[in-house]
Structure formats: structure tokens, C-alpha cells
């Protein structure tokens, strides 16, 4: 059941920005990203394909693993277990702790997982590179890191990779937006078939 405050938030959102032109699943994740951030720019900057989202919803119904780049992204996901490898990652010369942790996550989950990057552009770079090398076959990549260094570029690389993905263009992003997208998919997965 949707809480009355959440319902009111969606009503306000819909009064300010019409998203009726979007397909149902794309609309759901876009609205949830906007709801989680109060940032209407996601109406124009968020990209997803209906088919990729439908595959992700089906995978969530089957209990697929959900891997996050940082604990904060995982903390924003409601009623679904997540895994984060950041605590076992280590920084080395030329490599961040986030990239190392993502490499470990990929090694442990080479197929059948949803990967969410809401903080670290270097984690998204690592994920995209390993996808292009054929080392990982994700169900979906939610690539929404935030920041002035690498965030926009890492998302452009994700866009160019052809991977099944949800991402936004530009420097905005963050754990709230990324986990919001996944929360929308989880909510859809829990609906009766």
C-alpha cells in the first residue's frame, strides 16, 4: 500500500510534469527517481528501455541478486536483499577501492544479477569495461553515479556499451535516485501477474 505522503508526492509530480508519453515501466522508474530526489530534470535525462525493465522485473520475481556499489545505495532499497563488496575492496595505484570492489562483485556474480551504481563512477567504469570484455552478463545495470569527476563520462560509456541499462545523462545522480529506480522495479515485481 502506498503511504498518503508518497501518494501526494506523486500527485504533485504529475501536476508539474506530464510523463504520459513514456511506456509504463519507463514511466514508473522515471517517476520514482523524481520522487526520490525531487528533481524534475530526470524527466528528460533518464534513459531506459521497456524491454530491459520487463526482464529485470521478471528476474526480481525470481529472486535475482542485487549488487550495489556502496552500502548507502543498498540502504535505500526497500524489502529486497542487496549485496555490496566495498568493504573487501582495496585501493591500489591507479585503481580505486570502488573499482576493485566491483571487480570482486563481478567475479562472484558473473551472470544473472542487477548491478546498481549510485555513487562511484569508477565502479561503473569497471562494470562497463568488464561487460565489454564479456566477463559479466548483467540482467540490468542501473548507472547513476554522481559528481563532477567521471560521473557523466562513465554514464556515456554505459550508454555506448549497449548493455541493458537505466542511466541518466550528466553529473547528477546518487544513491537515492539509483535505489529509487530499483524500488520501482521491486514494487512492480511484487504486483500480481
Q: Which residues are catalytic?
A: 35
CA geometry: angle 192, 47, 22, nearest 5 deg? 55
Provide the CB-side half-sphere exposure for 95 (13 A, CA): 11
Q: How many CB atoms lie within 10 A of CB 193?
A: 5
> What's the chain's Rg over C-alpha atoms?
16
Q: Which of 112, 115, 114, 111 is nearest to 101 (CA)?
A: 115
Q: Which of 58, 73, 86 is nearest to 164 (CA)?
A: 58
Amino acid at each position: 500500500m502506498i503511504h498518503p505522503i508518497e501518494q501526494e508526492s506523486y500527485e504533485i509530480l504529475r501536476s508539474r510534469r506530464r510523463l504520459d508519453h513514456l511506456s509504463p515501466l519507463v514511466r514508473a522508474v522515471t517517476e520514482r527517481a523524481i520522487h526520490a530526489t525531487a528533481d524534475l530534470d530526470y524527466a528528460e535525462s533518464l534513459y531506459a528501455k521497456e524491454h530491459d525493465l520487463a526482464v529485470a522485473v521478471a528476474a526480481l520475481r525470481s529472486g535475482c541478486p542485487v549488487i550495489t556499489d556502496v552500502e548507502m545505495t543498498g540502504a535505500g532499497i526497500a524489502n529486497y536483499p542487496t549485496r555490496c563488496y566495498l568493504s573487501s575492496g582495496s585501493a591500489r595505484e591507479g585503481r580505486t577501492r570502488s573499482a576493485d570492489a566491483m571487480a570482486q562483485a563481478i567475479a562472484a556474480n558473473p551472470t544473472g544479477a542487477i548491478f546498481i551504481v549510485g555513487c562511484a563512477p569508477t565502479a561503473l567504469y569497471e562494470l562497463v569495461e568488464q561487460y565489454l570484455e564479456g566477463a559479466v552478463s548483467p540482467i540490468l545495470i542501473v548507472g547513476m553515479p554522481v559528481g563532477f569527476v567521471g560521473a557523466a563520462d562513465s554514464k556515456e560509456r554505459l550508454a555506448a556499451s549497449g548493455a541493458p541499462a537505466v542511466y541518466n545523462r550528466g553529473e547528477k545522480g546518487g544513491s537515492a535516485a539509483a535505489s529509487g529506480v530499483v524500488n520501482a522495479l521491486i514494487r512492480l515485481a511484487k504486483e500480481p501477474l
